[in-house]
Structure 1
Amino acid sequence: DIHYSCNYRCSYCFCAGKWEIIKSKNRYPDIKELGEIWDRIFGIYGSCHIHISGGEPFIYPNFIDLVSLLLKKHTLEFTTNLSFDVNLFMQQIVSQGVKFNASFHPEFENFAIFLKKVMLLIENNFSVDITYVAYPPYLERMKEFKDECKYRGINFGIQPFRGTFQGKPYPSSYSEEERRLLKICSEFAPSVDYFIENKNNKKEKRLCHMGHMYAKIMPSGDVLRCCAEDVEKIGNLFDDKDFSLLNEPLPCEIDNCPCWKRMIVGEEDKWMQLWKTPI
């Protein structure tokens, strides 16, 4: 998460009602400093795949300059609402090594306009998937959106809503019909299965590469082993001059792991293909 700041205020967002509080966690190092940090990481591990989300990454200060800098040695992936000037971006950034997870938010954007931006990126050789939060009020048109994407050859992924709607907790409160709809509409069925059917609620402490091959970087620079709640911190990318990942896979300490892309040792055939990076 590059920062907790966004130009949208979606009612289903994890940060809804908390933006003013959590923005205090944001740190904005100089672009040159960030470049030096990632150059050091390159020196240790070689080229990394950096997935940048937020908040909305494209309102991060001097973001295009940062993207240009990072692309010299790393590949990048953005989770974004595509509210930025797509044409201007394409004038400054080449498609090689870049992937988009474009999040469609019907509270703030028209689908036809959003899809036009997606197609423009695809026509200019950028890799783009679309994601959609299955918020109960927005389930009605979900299959329509999915079918339009399928017709155009675009992956359409569903993120089950996690939160409370009309006093009911989700995703556990989806009806059977709604669960079937989510499965029909999602190109990434494992995420739906894991969040709704809880197939990953195994309590044994199994060896996992999270923190060894992957880490989550917070807006403060804190580096967490994975994206689960209350997971261990393994350092701070901004402050620790000798920061490094774990030296080896360690047992997972999370009782009910929420991750459908978890890197369990011995299950590489299940997750390796889920971590494909742009060429």
Structure 2
Amino acid sequence: MNLPQIHLPEHYNYIGAFLSLSCNLSCSYCINHLVGLDQKRKVLSANEWIEGLNRISSKTDLPISLQGGEPSIHPGFLKIINNISKDTRIDLLTNIQFDPFEFMKFIDSSRFDRSLPYPAIRVSYHPETMDLDETLHKVKILHDSGYSIGIFTVDHPDSTEATKRARDLCDKHGITFKTKELLGLYNDKLYGTYHYPDSVFQKEFKTVQCKTSELLISPEGNIYRCHHDLYNKIQPVGHILDPEFKIEDIYRQCDFYGNCNPCDVKLKNNRFQNFGHCSVDIKF
């Protein structure tokens, strides 16, 4: 098919392509499971992902983030990376359970060149399921070969010592290391900094009007306005392979305010690393 381009509104800050929602790890605090997640889904083939992602007309400072679950689980993972238009910048969010030498054999470091103040390949380090020395070894192989890569970990109260060791080792080897807020409830305490504090983990839901600043594409190619809807397969607004699809930059009714996914309503850095950004704007 010769599909028309998809043009993003100027204020869009993120493009997330969820190649798979399956994962080869199982972390107790996984953000994907906080407000429900149906992992048993069909996935687009590599050719379908390539066709769909090549429709997206994005600025050079707005990369497509390949993520999951764990994106490297997709059988066409390497093919997808290599066949996205070279004019389109890409990022990769991964737990790097793959062989870095095999990765380098097929993917050149130039594939991740872009001018943003954080690494293009962001490796999630989870102390309860991953070995730090093995993770750092793999990251260093790619880093020393010219790939834009860093290690990110959740600032979990149970992982204080592991986080300190990871930071010290990364500093020693010149690897970017950053922590991200724990989001959700832990020992009856709510963690995270939220733009809408009553939007998460409530017993009663409200109806609101919500507008997104993100393009989120599920494994089966559906496009959703937020992570809550994507994870729960609720109210897709289109499909990446639908030739008639265009982004409508509008407020949409939502009946699930109170059960928002923390990713959508937290305060965070935008892609230029300026703090205070929220993925959605909500009218009550």
Q: TM-score w.r.t. structure 2 length?
A: 0.67
Q: Which amino acid aligns with 1:23?
A: Q
Q: Where does residue 282 of structure 2 map in the other structure? A: none
Is it true that 1:234 corresponds to 2:249 in the alignment? no
Q: Which amino acid aligns with 2:136?
A: L
Contact 1:228 1:258 (8 Å CA) reproduced:
no
Contact 1:71 1:97 (8 Å CA) reproduced:
no
Deviates more, 1:116-125 or 1:227-236: 227-236
Contact 1:161 1:170 (8 Å CA) reproduced:
no
Q: Where does residue 88 of structure 2 map in the other structure? A: 74
Q: Which amino acid aligns with 2:184?
A: G
1:18-57 equivalence runs, <5 A: 22-24=38-40, 26-42=41-57, 45=58, 49-57=63-71
CA distance in 2, matches of 1:142, 1:67: 31
Contact 1:223 1:233 (8 Å CA) reproduced:
yes
Identity of aligned residues (%): 24
Give 2:79's match in structure 1, choosing from 59, 65, 81: 65
Provide Cα deviations, 1:20-42, integer angstroms capped at 9, x if missing partner: x7122x23223222222233334
Q: Where does residue 260 of structure 1 map in the other structure? A: 268
* 2:149 alignment partner, SS class: strand
Provide Cα deviations, 1:11-70, integer angstroms capped at 9, x if missing partner: 221345999x7122x23223222222233334xx57662101111111112211111111
**Aligned in 2, Cα 1:66/1:160: closer, same or farther, shift over 3 Å?**
same
Structure 2 unaligned regions, length at least 5? 1-17, 113-119, 200-207, 278-284
**Aligned in 2, Cα 1:219/1:30: closer, same or farther, shift over 3 Å?**
closer
Q: TM-score w.r.t. structure 1 length?
A: 0.69
Q: How many angstroms does 1:76 deviate by?
A: 1.5
Q: Which amino acid aligns with 1:72?
A: K
* 1:89 alignment partner, SS class: helix
Q: Which amino acid aligns with 2:80?
A: L
Q: Where does residue 163 of structure 1 map in the other structure? A: 184
Q: Which amino acid aligns with 1:66?
A: I
Looking at secondary structure, tell me which structure has more helix per residue.
1
Structure 1 unaligned regions, length at least 5? 172-194, 274-279
Q: Where does residue 13 of structure 1 map in the other structure? A: 30
Q: How many angstroms does 1:199 deviate by?
A: 5.9
CA distance in 2, matches of 1:228, 1:94: 34
Deviates more, 1:10-19 or 1:112-121: 10-19
Q: Which amino acid aligns with 2:247?
A: L
Computed over aligned residues only, the root mean square deviation of the Cα atoms, in angstroms, reads 3.9
Looking at secondary structure, tell me which structure has more strand per residue.
2
**Aligned in 2, Cα 1:6/1:73: closer, same or farther, shift over 3 Å?**
same
CA distance in 1, matches of 2:228, 2:274: 19
Q: Where does residue 224 of structure 1 map in the other structure? A: 224
Structure number with greater CO (CA < 8 Å, separation at least 6) is 2
Contact 2:215 2:225 (8 Å CA) reproduced:
yes
CA distance in 2, matches of 1:270, 1:145: 25
CA distance in 2, matches of 1:272, 1:135: 22
